[in-house]
């Protein structure tokens, strides 16, 4: 018998805390508030997307013990919106309050080498790779992994901390350019498509999932997600869903987890990485499913039931980066929202960031329709109006 589970925190009676004030925190807060929870966000910045909508914003660093103590004092349960929050912050809070996901789960996701070891232990194949932390390991790298991508083990996101290398010499240079921090060299794989699966798991072991999502990246940043995944046959989709559920189960995970996959030219499916939180590729669920990934995160944290989500509309999500505010011709502008919102089934979500910058995630546009073909056609029209590529 395991330890007794804490009683559910019922809507309207509790306060939920979030570490991190970015857009994921903001959308979590919106979902929590819709259910009647109060929210407190801890973020070091005076102005943040989530801090602006929460009932309270504690402006403190993630290792500030006074700030963490205040958060624990005033919240009934606490989550994180990003995986690079110091695991020790979550550990500290876990001594005082319900924390989900657990510090140990987040720690696995913070380190690519540990994460890959977890995938292998869970029986889910990942890309062929080698861990490089010393000259000895560098010299021992199997040349069959080249050409490859050298990735820092920690703190990478949106393709940052990654270098493509073709030869042993380039590998050595790249590792020294990365300041010889612990890295993982991954074989460069021929991708047919990139997929992801979101699951949500409760402390009682309930486990639910969304359908497989097909993701297009540009410059290492997610650009487009389509659900149903247009190119993915049912057996591959089933394999991805089973693998994601297995990964969550093996971690004894609590909360929303996103598992990202590479679908290879030869038809194999390998796992790339996972995120211990709602994910950019799941933003379509805000309009295309009967429960959003953010509501599931709230429910998992509060110990509420997790119903199996149902997709009710074919969906396309377009990420809106700051580049849209700086078209190639002319000066800074406001994107053509009126025209975009005149298209059927468009749902605009902006994150309330004060300033647009190239590459910065400013918002996303969800397109819902009765059929995948209709959603795709409207998404192409919206992309054209916004000056985004029509390469999907």
Q: Which residues are annotated as a binding site for ATP?
A: 112, 151, 156-162, 186-189, 194, 217, 272-273
Count of chain residues binding ligand ATP (CB under 6 A): 18
Give 350's contacts (C-beta < 8 A, 6+ positions apart).
320, 362, 363
Rounded (10°) CA dihedral 116, 278, 349, 62 = -90
Contact between 233 and ligand ATP per CB under 6 A = no
d(CA 31, CA 232): 30
β-pair type (98-99, 77-80): parallel
Contact between 217 and ligand ATP per CB under 6 A = yes
Residues 312-371 that bind ligand ATP (CB under 6 A): none
Question: What is residue 168's three-state secondary structure?
Answer: helix
Classify residue 81 by its DSSP letter: S
Q: 36 burial class (0-12, 13-18, 19+ CB within 10 angstroms)?
A: exposed
Contact between 111 and ligand ATP per CB under 6 A = no
Residue 249 and residue 206 in contact, taking contact as beta carbons nearer than 8 Å: no
Residue 363 and residue 348 in contact, taking contact as beta carbons nearer than 8 Å: yes
Contact between 69 and ligand ATP per CB under 6 A = no
When binding is defined by CB under 6 A, the residue of 52, 69, 188, 374 that contacts ligand ATP is: 188
Which letter, b or e, does each residue of 96-107 get, where b requires 16 or more Cβ atoms within 10 Å of its Cβ?
Answer: ebbbbbbbebbb
| Shortest Å distance, C-beta 299 to ligand ATP | 25
| Shortest Å distance, C-beta 184 to ligand ATP | 9
Q: Which is nearer to ligand ATP, 137 or 158 (CB)?
A: 158
| Shortest Å distance, C-beta 262 to ligand ATP | 6
End-to-end Cα spacing for the chain = 50
When binding is defined by CB under 6 A, the residue of 74, 158, 170, 323 that contacts ligand ATP is: 158
Q: Which is nearer to ligand ATP, 112 or 353 (CB)?
A: 112
Residues 257-276 that bind ligand ATP (CB under 6 A): 272-273
| Shortest Å distance, C-beta 146 to ligand ATP | 12
Rounded (10°) CA dihedral 339, 340, 341, 342 = 50
Q: Which is nearer to ligand ATP, 76 or 111 (CB)?
A: 111
When binding is defined by CB under 6 A, the residue of 159, 305, 307, 344 that contacts ligand ATP is: 159
Contact between 43 and ligand ATP per CB under 6 A = no
When binding is defined by CB under 6 A, the residue of 220, 267, 305, 344 that contacts ligand ATP is: 220
Q: Looking at the chain, how many residues does it have?
A: 392
d(CA 54, CA 43): 11
The alpha carbon of residue 319 and the mean position of all alpha carbons in its chain are separated, in whole angstroms, by: 13
d(CA 281, CA 213): 7
Q: Which is nearer to ligand ATP, 97 or 360 (CB)?
A: 360
Contact between 23 and ligand ATP per CB under 6 A = no
Q: Which residues are annotated as a binding site?
A: 112, 151, 156-162, 186-189, 194, 217, 272-273
When binding is defined by CB under 6 A, the residue of 149, 356, 378, 382 that contacts ligand ATP is: 149
- Binding positions for ligand ATP, rule: CB under 6 A: 127, 149, 151, 156-160, 186-189, 191, 194, 217, 220, 272-273
């Amino acid at each position: 018998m395991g330890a007794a589970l804490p009683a559910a925190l019922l809507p309207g009676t509790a306060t939920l805390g979030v570490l991190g004030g970015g857009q994921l925190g903001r959308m979590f807060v919106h979902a929590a508030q819709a259910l009647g929870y109060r929210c407190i966000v801890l973020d070091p910045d005076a102005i943040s997307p989530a801090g602006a909508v929460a009932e309270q914003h504690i402006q403190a660093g993630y290792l500030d013990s006074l700030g963490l103590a205040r958060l624990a004092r005033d919240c009934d349960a606490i989550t994180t919106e990003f995986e690079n929050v110091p695991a020790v912050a979550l550990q500290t809070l876990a001594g005082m309050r319900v924390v989900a996901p657990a510090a140990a789960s987040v720690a696995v996701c913070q380190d690519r080498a540990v994460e890959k070891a977890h995938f292998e232990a869970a029986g889910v194949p990942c890309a062929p790779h080698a861990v490089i932390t010393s000259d000895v390991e560098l010299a021992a790298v199997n040349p069959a992994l080249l050409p490859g991508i050298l990735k820092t083990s920690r703190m990478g996101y949106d393709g940052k901390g990654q270098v493509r290398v073709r030869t042993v010499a380039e590998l050595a240079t790249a590792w020294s350019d990365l300041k010889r921090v612990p890295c993982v060299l991954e074989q460069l794989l021929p991708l047919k498509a990139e997929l992801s699966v979101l699951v949500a798991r409760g402390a009682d072991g309930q486990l639910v999932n969304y359908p497989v999502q097909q993701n297009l990246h540009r410059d290492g940043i997610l650009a487009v997600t389509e659900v149903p995944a247009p190119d993915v046959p049912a057996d591959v989709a089933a394999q991805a869903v089973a693998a994601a559920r297995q990964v969550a189960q093996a971690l004894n995970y609590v909360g929303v987890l996103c598992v990202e996959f590479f679908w290879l030219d030869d038809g194999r499916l390998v796992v790339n990485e996972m995120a211990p939180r709602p994910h950019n590729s799941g933003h379509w669920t805000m309009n295309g499913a009967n429960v959003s990934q953010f509501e599931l995160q709230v429910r998992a944290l509060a110990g509420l039931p997790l119903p199996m989500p149902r997709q009710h509309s074919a969906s396309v999500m377009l990420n809106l980066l700051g580049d849209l505010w700086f078209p190639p011709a002319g000066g800074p502008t406001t994107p053509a929202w009126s025209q975009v919102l005149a298209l059927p089934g468009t749902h605009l979500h902006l994150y309330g960031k004060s300033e647009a910058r190239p590459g910065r995630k400013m918002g996303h546009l969800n397109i819902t329709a009765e059929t995948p073909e209709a959603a795709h056609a409207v998404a192409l029209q919206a992309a054209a109006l916004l000056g985004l590529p029509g390469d999907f």
